[in-house]
A and B are shown apart, each in its own frame.
Chain A
Amino acid sequence: MGRRRNLPIVALAMAVIAVQLLTAAAGKPQYLTQLTMAGYYSLVIVGLTLLMGYTGQISLGHAGFFAIGGYTSGLLTTYNLHPLIGQIPVSILQACGLLVSGKDLYGADLLVVRPWAACVVALLVTIGIAYLVGKPVLKLKGHYLAMATLGFGTIVYKVVLGSSLVGAADGISDIPAFPLFAGLVVTGKSALRAQNYYVAWGLVLGAMALLTNLIRSRVGRALRAIHGAEDAANAMGVDTGRYKLQMFVLSAALAALGGVFLTHYNGGIGPSEASVMKSVRYVAIVAVGGMANLWGALFMGVLLNFLSLRGSFGSYDDAVFGLILLAIMLFAPDGLLRAEFARRLPGLRRGQKAAP
């Protein structure tokens, strides 16, 4: 029984492998760079799809969560604790093996937080902030919700832009690679390009597996019910406030995960990752993917980010996303891919039926 359920995930895994082989065969392994980056952005997008498309809660601040993740990990892995050696908190961290020492560019001693620990802290920080922000914000609806999330996103942007601790407008540079396990390292070194592609897409696969399970489950049904008629869902016993909040936090955590990994992959992060335009782009991709269509959003996310990161839109990058938003919302508010797929692949969208 589990086999049919997992078919889309298996197909995605095969597609991931096929793309790598194809790029290698076509002599264009460099494409994997942008595909890797697009993969990390996809984590934001699939989370946002569940929040917006399934649960019906708009967020114009998800770039903020991405940035919080990336910046936290970036700051922790570059902030030099060496001058503080001997102080008790630093000693404790050292004793726990959470710190790692090295040399900086100028050859000076460097003592920073281990990437693993930084990653965990980044996720926890994001989850905490998402919880604190989400709790009051998700009580709002419509324009008020849009405005509040936009406000949150703007605050994150202004804070990273105004804080010299995180490099203000320059952002953080020289962020070290992130050794995962078994020799896997998240780094932008071209020699490890294919490996990093698989790390990114492994994460995406994992996220997709979890999320497709989620949308087919009791929780997924409750989320769609909240989207359709919040009061009725509440009357059927769905704790709508809690479900919305959990979904918000989950999507924020996914965004932060993408942020952490991309930051280590890129070796740096700048305020542009937190900008409101970035958040709007994520919304545009979810919309063009079909709002409540996880696969559509994933596909459009990879496609558009891939093209954008390759500079295919030139100076019209933002304009392209603006026009996409307009066109989709005017002519196909349910998304480009949705109508098509709904007809052909009822099993994908209505998980209920696909499960025997």
Chain B
Amino acid sequence: MSLLVVKDLCKRFGGLQAVDNVSFAVASGSIKALIGPNGAGKTTLFNLIFGALLPDSGQVWFDGKQTDGWKPHQVAAAGMARTFQHIRLFPKMSALDNIAVGRHVHSRAGFLASMLGLPWTRREQRAVREKALEIMRFLGVEELADGEATSLAYGQQRIVELGRALACEPKLLLLDEPAAGLNMRETSEMAKLIARIRDTGVTVLLVEHDMTLVMNISDEVLVLSYGEKIADDKPLAIQKHPEVIKVYLGEDDA
């Protein structure tokens, strides 16, 4: 059973075909990695799936619904969450508040109810806070709760951003280079964390350059080159795929 199905997706920027007729599926409960050289169209593909960009053609099906053309917040409400390649935490807000924003789709107080401070909105606020703390405990960073998010160490910011996405309780988690900028120890911890997240039942689609991480935790690997899909297989098969070796592994020597 596939949670996410991408069909014939295309996106062109001026003269550049950033994503060229890409189709694939992500099985529920699995980790799928998206790899490819710089400029292969990985982040563009993420943005297309998430609704941050509109595809020129093709379809995106998520959880049985066709979601291409939706706005990101609609996609998020449907059960998808993401992190960003360049960390996009909310400045001047505590780590806890950052994660609490992730609870947005699971709470409902609007302008009027909030302004009037109705009792249920306060209960909801407490629940949001509890849930955010719970996530921080799960990630092992509850001591960072009150620190200003953007002044934390880089590795900690990555964790908080991951926590913010987890707070959405997504069915599908899109991680854009979760290990970028992390050292080796942090990277392996991140790998373990992603595996743990998958074990809680969350499906993961990730873009990553760190091949050790990709090969260790992925169930499947999709390879893009110049916007085109050139392979989509189990990690071991990918490592032996001649095309992949040629365009990617060959030059990267990973």
Contacts and interface: CB of A to CB of B under 8 A. Distances in A.
Q: Do A and B come from one complex?
A: yes
Interface of A: 1, 5, 209-211, 213-214, 216-222, 224-225, 227-229, 231-241, 246, 250, 292, 350, 352-353, 355
Given A218-B125, A235-B84, 15 more contacts: A5-B117, A213-B114, A218-B108, A218-B114, A220-B114, A229-B88, A229-B91, A232-B88, A232-B89, A235-B52, A235-B81, A235-B82, A237-B73, A241-B71, A352-B97
B67 interface: no
Contacts of A238: 73, 101, 104
A213 B117 contact: yes
Nearest to A224: B93
B101 A235 contact: no
Contact of B71 (A5, A224, A229, A234): A234
Contacts of A236: 73, 76, 81, 101-102, 104-105, 164-165, 168
B237 interface: no
A227 B104 CA distance: 16
Contact of A224 (B92, B121, B125, B146): B92
A225 B122 contact: no
Nearest to A346: B146
Given A218-B107, A250-B111, A355-B125, A234 B73 contact: yes
B20 to A, nearest CB: 25
Contact of B93 (A5, A225, A241, A246): A225
B172 interface: no
A231 B111 contact: no
A352 B100 contact: yes
A5 B114 CA distance: 13
Interface in B38-54: 50, 52
A235 B88 CA distance: 10
A292 B108 CA distance: 24
Contacts of A220: 114
Contact of A221 (B52, B72, B73, B100): B100
Interface residues of B, number: 45
A224 to B, nearest CB: 6
Nearest to B107: A218
Contacts of B168: 236-237
Given A213-B115, A224-B90, A218 B84 contact: no
A59 to B, nearest CB: 18
A217 B125 contact: yes
Contacts of B93: 221, 224-225, 228
B129 interface: yes
A218 B105 CA distance: 10
Q: Which of A209, A225, A232 has the most CB of B within 10 A?
A: A232
Contacts of B8: none
B110 interface: yes
B150 to A, nearest CB: 8
Contact of A239 (B71, B97, B100, B115): B71
B10 interface: no
A234 to B, nearest CB: 4
B90 A225 contact: yes
Contacts of A234: 52, 71-73, 76
B179 interface: no
A289 B148 CA distance: 22
A159 to B, nearest CB: 29
B116 A213 contact: yes
A235 B91 contact: no
Contact of A237 (B76, B109, B110, B129): B76
Given A218-B125, A229-B90, A233-B90, A210 B84 contact: no
A218 B97 contact: no
B117 to A, nearest CB: 4
Contacts of B110: 219
Contact of B94 (A229, A232, A352): A352
Contact of A246 (B81, B109, B111): B111
Given A218-B107, A225-B93, A350-B94, A231 B52 contact: yes
Contacts of B164: 236
A343 B169 CA distance: 34
B252 interface: no
Among B72, B82, B91, the one with the most A-chain Cβ atoms within 10 Å of its Cβ is: B72
A351 to B, nearest CB: 9
A326 B91 CA distance: 24
Contacts of B90: 224-225, 227-229, 232-233
Q: Which of A211, A218, A228, A237 is the most central at the interface, judged by chain B CB atoms within 10 Å of its CB? A: A237
B82 to A, nearest CB: 5
Per CB-CB distance, the 3 closest pairs between chain A and chain B, nearest first, are A217-B114, A228-B90, A237-B76
A235 B91 CA distance: 16
A232 B115 CA distance: 24
Interface in B96-153: 96-97, 100-105, 107-111, 114-117, 121-122, 124-126, 128-129, 146
A268 to B, nearest CB: 32
A352 B117 contact: no
19 contacts: A214-B115, A217-B114, A218-B114, A218-B121, A219-B109, A224-B92, A228-B91, A231-B52, A233-B90, A234-B73, A235-B82, A236-B73, A236-B76, A236-B81, A236-B105, A238-B101, A241-B71, A350-B97, A352-B97
A219 B111 contact: yes
A234 B80 CA distance: 12
Residue among B82, B88, B105, B124 with the most chain A CB within 10 A? B88
